[in-house]
A and B are shown apart, each in its own frame.
Chain A
């Protein structure tokens, strides 16, 4: 009954460092996505994937890379961290893309870039 698991929960980076935020789901969902949450802006889509081997950009993709080598995992990579990437990051997964049953969200990663 794990759902969507995100690691780490908290991270502090220095400007210019790189890191990978991990996301895994055990529900055999085809659809996975990454959002960032900033005060007063709701959640904005960074990247998404409709299945293994298929990814696409969302609203705010710059500075982030993703890959989807398996159905279960969808890591988000920050190539060279900047203070503007300080945010809370949420991974989400969903059922068959043709159904709107709603997404399951992870508990989030709070990232601070100094």
Chain B
């Protein structure tokens, strides 16, 4: 079946540090890949996505590249801010006959200190 594995957290960084959150997946065929962000007390928001190999998703300074050869979709940001403190989820979906279904990783808690 499909599965997503994220790096263990929590992650604590200082403001302006470089961020990498690792994500690898297992799926048959060609899934679409997503990063979602959850701020305290809120629901999940789509951060970025990629639908095919070598696609790069980007938003708000975050980037992730769909690497089929390593089955990875690592999230990066060059300079984090305190406002980036949140839980980040990697997810995949496949277009099965019954429609898309999201499979999530466990989530990574990011805390950015001033």
Q: Which residues of A contact B (CB under 8 A)?
A: 4, 30-31, 33, 35, 40-45, 48, 50, 56, 58, 90, 92, 94, 97-98, 100-108
B-side contacts of A90, CB under 8 Å: 43-44
B114 within 8 A of A: no
Could you tell me the distance between the alpha carbons of A30 and B98 in the complex, rounded to whole angstroms? Answer: 12
SS of B interface (majority): strand
Q: Please, how many residues of chain B have a CB less than 8 angstroms from a CB on the other chain?
A: 25
CB distance from A108 to the nearest CB of B (A): 5
CB distance from B56 to the nearest CB of A (A): 16
Return the CB mask of B33-44 against A: 1 if under 8 Å, else 0.
Answer: 010100001111
Q: Which residues of B contact A (CB under 8 A)?
A: 4, 32, 34, 36, 41-46, 49, 51, 89, 93, 95, 98-107
Task: With a 10 A CB-CB cut-off, give which of A30, A103, A107 has the most chain B CB atoms.
Answer: A103
* B32 close to A100 (CB less than 8 A): yes
B-side contacts of A50, CB under 8 Å: 98-99
Could you tell me the distance between the alpha carbons of A104 and B43 in the complex, rounded to whole angstroms? Answer: 9
B-side contacts of A44, CB under 8 Å: 104
Work out how many contacts link A and B, with CB atoms closer than 8 A: 63
* A42 close to B43 (CB less than 8 A): no
> Which listed residue (B4, B42, B102, B107) contacts A103, Cβ 8 A?
B102
Could you tell me the distance between the alpha carbons of A100 and B101 in the complex, rounded to whole angstroms? Answer: 10
> Which listed residue (B100, B105, B106, B107) contacts A100, Cβ 8 A?
B100
Could you tell me the distance between the alpha carbons of A14 and B41 in the complex, rounded to whole angstroms? Answer: 24
* B95 close to A45 (CB less than 8 A): no
* B98 close to A56 (CB less than 8 A): yes
B-side contacts of A42, CB under 8 Å: 4, 89, 104-107
CB distance from B25 to the nearest CB of A (A): 13
